[in-house]
Structure 1
Amino acid sequence: MAGIANVILPFFALVLCGYLAVRQRLLPESAIAGLNSFVLYFALPCMLFRFGVNTPLAELLAPAVLLLYTAVALLMVGLIMALTLGPQLQRGNAAFGALVGAFPNSGYMGVPLLAALLGPAAVGTVICTTLVDLVLTSSLCLALAQSGAGHASWRSAWLQALRGPLTNPLPWAVGLGVAAGLSGLHLPAALDNTVRLLGDAASPVALFTLGAVLRREQHQAQGAAQAGHTSTAGAVTTVVLAKLLLHPLLVLLLGLGARRYGLNLSDLQLQVLTLTAALPSASNVSLLAERYGADNGRIAKIILGSTSLAFVSFSLWAWALGAAR
């Protein structure tokens, strides 16, 4: 357990550093947008490009991984919608709650953390889950939210929701990396070194930025509460517990069951999938909720709560699964 904590603790310590930097006003909230842009459009694409070059396509698009993770993602969306939808929470807000409960922070945290914990062989599976969440889970929940808003048909809601993955640089970075690897293309030395430097910056800057975002969202949630826009505690706690406990449990149990019926899923892939599901909620859901006029205060509380508790819950999952190199 001590060895697992020694790997996990630095990642959460970087998140805490970003949180404290904004809380102590060492970093202004206005700077967070710039940090996010650096991570999303420069550092993470370069890191994923390098992984795409060096990871076999069969690992990035493993059929068994795609099938299991997609099935659990759809199940999580349906369960959270069923648990939270009601008079106090309309479909739009319930859909964003389902998204934040089913979408782990695999980009900013999962890829570097699981690579450090389980080795480079884990990366292909994590990226595979990220593609599912960016393309399918987010599009489905956005379509549910839009169609429930009373101004969009299912067809137009789906078309609008699918624009997100097409404009997100992360899937394109993976695709370009795979294409470069398959073609044997090698970047010029100067450009390759630039990509390497940006990719190496992705993990620390992304985690620091995540902490800064969490503090900003906490500040915004506190402001909403003071203005009288409060979310029920149950609507937050249910999703946090579903994200940290139910999501990985479903992956593990369905994965074990599916292997009995012949699903070609290795021990490592199941381990990586379970730990990916055990990650806290993705912070970018807050930006989507704000953009689409959902209850961003509730989403911010879920992200903050899941991230705060994830150090303990994720460490326990990693220990239970024997995740250590």
Structure 2
Amino acid sequence: MREHDEFLARVTAIGQQHDVPPEQITEVAGGVANRGFVLGEAFFLRVARPGFEDDLRKEAGVVPVARSAGVLTPTIIQYDDSRELIDAPYVVMDRIHGIEHPGAPVGLAEQLARLHRVERTDIPGVPQDDGGDPWLTVDALAERGYLDLGTAKWLSGWFTRLSDRFDRHEPRVLIHGDVAAHNLLAGPDGELRALIDWGDAAWAPRTMDFAKLPLDHVAAILPDYIRALRTSHPEQHLADEDELAAATLWFHLHWALGKLTATPWPGQRHWTAPPASRLLALLKFFATTPPAPWSTLT
């Protein structure tokens, strides 16, 4: 209790540095990587939890790059990893007044297109992520008894068919890495106001940024995403909807299988948290007769 009170006292001191009185400081529930605090009407404080310090450091480097590309994300007012005031890195940023959006907010496709157009540059802590090998995942599940051999062979064939429909070696782009409902703040009109929490940012295939949205949301915004890319780069050859859909399904299916062996984590708000949710979401999506090109991907 004493340690908790001391921590809150230090949070209060950070607020006072920004002229925020103690009565206007409120902790926001949730947050795996950070503890979050509303600092009055103008600011928001995020303090890294143990083990997630590098994610917050990465965020401090990525946010200015994203903002320079026109991406809607809060300005970082202060980043401090000195541990002089509080024993953890923290950031103070603009507070965006919005609500978590249950679907795909209006404007999300355009924002992702802006982010994915960022030129490759050295941003400390941002890794390259190619998404792993789904054939190895399938083999491991079969060896451990999670899949029968016939199903494993069928799944491996599905990944092979998908891989023939898109370029697995396309240039990597800057992705947010966690485009999910809890990181999308929208206004009452459903218009996107901010994409927040950049701790999973990476140089990766662009379609990896669609892997944490339900597939029906992806299907709805993908045409707008393609239009936004082609409007800004009409002279370039860009992947069509068939290629992007196949690559997106590749990640959804691979990550769904990879999640099967996870230990249940009750109480989490993200739809992908339960071990079987991704796989059942795929079943639901294809059982509802999705539009082309999705209907051709099985």
Q: What TM-score, normalized to structure 2? A: 0.29
- Whichever structure has more strand as a proportion of its residues is 2
Q: Which has the higher helix share?
A: 1
RCO comparison, higher one (Cα < 8 Å, 6+):
1
Bigger Rg, which one: 2
